[in-house]
Structure 1
Amino acid sequence: MISRLPVTIVRACLREGRGGSPTAVLDETPLSDEERCRVPVLAGTSHAVFVAVRGSAVALRFFTAEGELPACGHGTIAALAFLLERAGGSEYRGALRAAGRSFAGWAVREGARVRAAFEPGSVELREPTPAECGLVLPTLGVGRDTLTPGVRVASVGRARLLVPVNSRSALAALAPDFGRLRSACDRFGLLGCYVYSAPTRSGRIAARMFAPSIGVPEDIANANSTACLAADLAGRGVTGIAVDMGDSLGSPATITATARPGPVVQLGGTAEVTGVVRLP
């Protein structure tokens, strides 16, 4: 039963203290997967994170209205803020586990907010096939005059398409056909499409993540896709990025990522625990 279940709402990946992606975080509880999928819907969030403390390790499970995800970057940042709030004090460090993979995460209190970071794991990159590009890209509304070289299929848990465009204005103008996009992504087993602008010299980038296949037409903040981009750009000499998302949805968010040879990526973001609600 999920009625009256207490859920902590965390705004993950804030930008200068504003916006962020509201995320439902709650203790592991005996629920069916169908009930877990209802939690973000009832909480008014795109994602829900279930947290199970098992000795010295913490297991995480991530759900959207469409089902379970093997990983969720902004959900992990939200979970770390939740764990710090639960532990009290000024810092939290722990071993996290999701989808059979263990990794370290940490969080530090900064006033009323929390700075959190973790390593999402290895990123797989490949060139897309002509069929993938031919079917998926037209559904985004990306014109030949705005698309730039470097489309990649990237995976950290599930595959997605990284699509570069030449400017922030071109990114802001996108109006995907979500029905066709979902059909195209489902055909190739893609999570969705992460469209991003050319990085500035300082590594500042704007991005939008379209993922109707998991019940999220557009994501306010998608940290795992940012990790994929950081791994791709590391091969071109860009070792640190800050990605702005959520502006088209009225909720500005920023995700940071650094990459070192391997590539090994570390994701970071600021979060704020806004309170506890009970599901209707």
Structure 2
Amino acid sequence: MLTVVDACVREGSGGSPTLVADDDAAFSDADRRAIVRAGGASHGAFLDPPVVRFFTGTAELRNCGHGTLAAQAVLLDRDHARERRAVQRTGGRDVQVTATRLPGGGIEVWFDQGPVTVTEPDSDLGGVLAALGVGDPGRIVVASPGTPRLLIPVADPSVVAPDFARLAAECRERGLLGCLVYRLDGPVALARLFAPVIGVDEDVANANSSGCLAAHLGRRIEVWQGDALGRPSAVFADSDGHTTRVGGVVRLR
């Protein structure tokens, strides 16, 4: 069974189109990547509960936040239940997940992100900033829930216009998944996640990076993404500096 859902919708619309499919032992990884491309989504979740694997059209991912939300929403819907509490196994790690039907429609899903490390960059980032077209940002940190990415505060994320080929090369050289550029606006962060190294120039909703930002700030935050792509999204993330939970609302089509 294969379906596409909208993960991390904002006020009931937008969100990231995410493919959810039952896995099959006969599939090769090339088959899974081809299924994601054919489905017209940037990411796909392949279900063999409790195992879930994630792919883009070009690579397998160690984990995927909004893919986890999509997968668990579909599993709840199949159960015809109001709530689902379960353990998802992804990348060799067990993830606690909770999915709940909302009265007005949609399914809200939360997962425990696990440890997030936040460190100072250990190399010059001039090439990355040049590829992003960003000058004189605020304090940059490296955040990793398993795969490192940069968190870069900027004055206005909407005007950032990366050279994606150069950015992919710079990130690949440093072992980075990508870059989250953001601006804080009270309890909301306006953000964009660029990850051309995994075949996703810009992500509509990157839940793991949102959790990284909450871990960096040590508080709850709502991260708005996707506006530049015409798919407004919202990710909820809450951290006390030690543990981080990430959530969002999934709309079934």
TM range (shorter): over 0.9
Deviation at 1:200, TM superposition (A): 2.8
Q: Does 1:25 align with 2:5?
A: no
1:213 corresponds, among 192, 197, 206, to: 197
Q: Distance in 1 between matches of 2:167 and 2:238?
A: 30
Q: Does 1:10 align with 2:2?
A: no
SS at match of 2:252: strand
1:165 corresponds, among 132, 148, 154, to: 154
**Which residue pairs with 1:277 in the alignment?**
none
Q: Does 1:229 align with 2:229?
A: no
SS at match of 2:77: helix
- 1:191-270 correspondence to structure 2 within 5 Å: 191-197=177-183, 199-201=184-186, 203-234=187-218, 239-261=219-241, 263-270=242-249
Q: Distance in 2 between matches of 1:152 and 1:51?
A: 33
1:48 corresponds, among 31, 44, 48, to: 44
Q: Distance in 2 between matches of 1:66 and 1:164?
A: 29
Q: Distance in 2 between matches of 1:92 and 1:272?
A: 16
Q: Distance in 1 between matches of 2:68 and 2:245?
A: 12
Q: Distance in 1 between matches of 2:105 and 2:185?
A: 31
Deviation at 1:112, TM superposition (A): 2.4
**Which residue pairs with 1:188 in the alignment?**
174
1:257-278 per-residue CA deviation (whole Å, 9 max, x = no partner) reads 11124x100101000121xxxx
Given residue 208 of structure 2, which amino acid in structure 1 is its aligned partner? N
1:139-160 per-residue CA deviation (whole Å, 9 max, x = no partner) reads 001122xx12x20111112111
Greater RCO, CA 8 A, separation 6+: 1
Runs of 4+ aligned structure 1 residues displaced above 3 Å come to none
Deviation at 1:126, TM superposition (A): 1.2
**Which residue pairs with 1:66 in the alignment?**
58
SS at match of 1:158: coil
Given residue 211 of structure 2, which amino acid in structure 1 is its aligned partner? A
- 1:135-154 correspondence to structure 2 within 5 Å: 135-144=127-136, 147-148=137-138, 150-154=139-143
Q: Distance in 2 between matches of 1:178 and 1:28?
A: 31
Query: Between the two proteins, what is the percent identity of the paired residues?
Result: 44
Deviation at 1:212, TM superposition (A): 0.4
Given residue 164 of structure 2, which amino acid in structure 1 is its aligned partner? F
Deviation at 1:66, TM superposition (A): 1.7
SS at match of 1:183: helix
RMSD: 1.0
2:117 corresponds, among 124, 139, 142, to: 124
1:243-266 per-residue CA deviation (whole Å, 9 max, x = no partner) reads 1000000000000111124x1001
**Which residue pairs with 1:101 in the alignment?**
93
SS at match of 2:221: strand
Give the total of aligned pairs.
251
Alignment TM-score, normalising by the size of structure 2: 0.97
**Which residue pairs with 1:179 in the alignment?**
165
SS at match of 1:218: strand
